Each structure stands twice: as structure tokens, then as C-alpha cells.
Copies of this chain bind each other. A is one copy, B any other.
Amino acid sequence: MSLFFSVIPVAEAIRILTSAAAPGGTEEIPLGEGLHRVLSADVPSDTDIPGFTRSVVDGYGVRAADTTGAGDAVPSMLRWMGTVPMGGVPDRAVAPGECLYVPTGAVLPDGADAVVMVEHTEQARDLVLIRRPVAKGENVLARGEDYPRGGMVLPKGRRLRPQDLGVLAAAGRSRILVFRQPRVGIISTGNELVPVTAFPSASQVRDVNSSLCAGFLQEHGCVPRCFGIVKDEQGLLRAALDRALFECDAVLVSGGSSKDARDHCASAIAERGEVLAHGIALQPGKPTILGQVQGKPVIGLPGHPASAYIVLRALVRPLIGVMAGGLPPERRVGAHLAENIPSPKGREDWVRVRLEGDLARPVFGKSGLLNTLAASDGVVVVPAEREGMEAGEVVEVILW
């Protein structure tokens, strides 16, 4: 006897969810707010980077040919004609037999085609001894060598790292076009739930999943919006769902761990839109509901926090990837399994593990327990086609 009409594979659930989703438009933001945002268009540079040929060392701008054969024993001798000021342009060119002092980052004078590092020179009045030869272009960054004007500096879809912000600064982008952050509503359902601020009576529990979901959404580049705790009553849930759908791009309905509560959630979705799936071949996370209302994804999460969190990682993460245009990278590490993991065929098992050096030790425990989430470092995924994994096996741990 099954509580579910049908249970669909995880890959199918992801396909259903992501095919119903799309990035939610773009917006222009200041560069300083761009960290971890995702570019919605290729970015070209408005100028050559660098905009002029410059020295990358402190030294003397020379004609490379003038240094041929230079060495400690027989240095080349050049006439010093002055210094290029930082931020200024040289007041003269370098003729054969001449040199100009060029600090790091300053303009290479006309005529010069290389820079000899000051460490390899000796200056006495207006004569400079060159003790090493340089090749044409040595210690020089040519105009446009980093990025040419009009060339793409970063592509659409790039999730911006600190160094990318530097590149965008160089390209003159004080404002950037990025994908809008998906707004995702969170509804917690359950007669037994009370807010974090309340002290629960003998039959109540505090609302854990709102905080869990909000943190997950923030970490994945979304803007969470909490719609509070809703009693297990069809009318109330409908009203909350309508409010959330009005303001958000997607909705998570969390709680509802009992069959009755799940049925309420599924009915509310079905009334307004469509239930796409009810039951996933995922452990924990089987009683998950995938729906769509007004073209927006609505997901009924299991009530147990550990189950809910696995569903967020396994199913909601790829959905956000589409909606946000990009995701924070996952951290993964290889390890040897410390104990056998039993798992029936046909079901994908997400087993929490604790890392002990090179060992990944499964943290078995009831999915109602929060401490299995808090005490674990990540998960090992047992694919549906496998019947468990054996101690000693090399596994990949997805770190939290």
C-alpha cells in the first residue's frame, strides 16, 4: 500500500521544475553591489586596457637594440634624459643611445620598446650603465594587451567574483546589467507551529523551516519573503498562497508533514494551478509536491527540517539555477566511506556524513532530528540504480 499515486525519479523532478522556470528579468545595479550577482549580458570594454603602453617595473625605458650584449663585465652605456612622471606623459621620445626613467605603471616613451629593471642598472649623473640585455617588449604591457577596446571582458551568465569586479571597473562599468534576484515566498503550515519568539506549549513546536528556507534562499542568491505561519485550513492556505504568488516568483510551502497537511497543500495548488508531481524517489524527501500556479513554481516541502533541507539542495537548487541565471559553486571532496550505506534500488538516497580525516562517516538518524543536519559536514548521494554503498568505497561528498 502506497500513500502516493506515483513516485517520480529525481532527474525527472528536476526536469519538470526547471522546464517550468525562466530567469526573472534583468536590472541595472551599481558595480559595488555586484558581488555574486550574475551578468545578464556580455560586457565589452569601452577602452583599450591598458589605454597606453606602460612599464610593469621600475626601470629605464630603452631601445632594446641598445642593450644587445650588455653584461656585468661590459655594460651598455646610455644617456639619461629624464623621468616619466606617474600619471603624466613623457615630454620627449627616446632616441638611440638614450633612456628615460620609467616608474612601474608609467607611460613608455615613444622610441623606447622595453624597460630594463633598475636592479640591473647603475646611474651616475646622466649616464646609466645597463648590465643585462632586454628583448623588445620586455617588462612592458602593450596598449590593449589585457583587453582590446570593444572586446568582451566577461560573458553573460558570469557569477561575479571579486576579481571580476576589478575587471568591470577597468572596463568602465560603474553600473552593470544583472539578472534580477528571484523573490521566493515561504509559507509555513501546521497547527502545531509557533513563531521563534514564542515559548512552545506541550504540543507545539517552533517554526524551524522558515529560518532554514530563508537562509538557503539567501545563500543561493534569492530574496526570501516569509509569509508567516498558516494553520492547516484550506481557506487560510489558499489566501496565503495568493498573497505569496502576488509578490514572489516562486513559493515554498513548508511544513505539512502529515498526509492530511500534504493533501491540503496539494489541493490548494490544484485549485489555483497544477500539481506536476506528488512524491519523489528521494530519501529523505519523498512526500514533496511540485506544482505550478500562474506560471510560477510552487513546491510543497516535507515538514521534517532535515528532509526539507535535502529537497532544497536536491530539487530547489537547480530550479534557482535557472531562475537566478547562476548558482554559488558547490564544494565537493573525495573521501572513503567509513560504513556501509544500505539503500533500496530505485530511490536516490542523500545520506548525511561527517568527515573524519579521509573518512566520510554516515550520520544515520531520524529525519526529524535537527542535530543530524547540524552535526554533518555534507552528503553522499547514492544513485537510484545502486543498492547501497560499501565501507571503503571512494565517494564524493557534497559539502554544506
- Nearest CB in chain B to that of A56: its residue: B368
Binds B, one of A20-28, A61-69, A211-219, A267-275: A211-219
Instruction: For chain A, residues 352 to 400, give those with C-beta under 8 angstroms from any C-beta of chain B.
Output: 366-371, 373-374, 399-400
CB distance from A54 to the nearest CB of B (A): 8
Task: Tell me which residues across on chain B come within 8 A of A165, comparing CB atoms.
Answer: 211-212, 214-215
CB distance from A14 to the nearest CB of B (A): 20
Please, how many residues of chain A have a CB less than 8 angstroms from a CB on the other chain? Answer: 103
Binds B, one of A196-204, A237-245, A339-347: A196-204
Counting every copy of the chain, the complex holds 2
Interface string of A9-23 (1 = CB under 8 A from B): 000000000000000
Task: Tell me which residues across on chain B come within 8 A of A160, comparing CB atoms.
Answer: 215
Beta-carbon contact of A191 and B329 below 8 Å: no
- The docked-state distance in angstroms from the alpha carbon of A50 to that of B305 is 12
**Do A258 and B366 contact each other (CB < 8 Å), given the known contacts A165-B211, A206-B170, A212-B165?**
no
Task: Tell me which residues across on chain B come within 8 A of A369, comparing CB atoms.
Answer: 141, 145-146
Beta-carbon contact of A89 and B164 below 8 Å: no
Binds B, one of A74-82, A92-100, A102-110, A293-301: A102-110
Q: Tell me if A169 is interfacial: C-beta within 8 Å of chain B.
A: yes
Q: Please, could you name 16 A-B residue pairs with CB atoms under 8 Å apart, sorted by A?
A: A56-B366, A58-B258, A86-B190, A86-B258, A103-B258, A103-B259, A103-B260, A104-B257, A141-B369, A146-B369, A161-B400, A167-B371, A167-B374, A169-B206, A173-B196, A329-B331
- 3 shortest interchain CB distances as A-B pairs: A162-B215, A87-B191, A103-B258
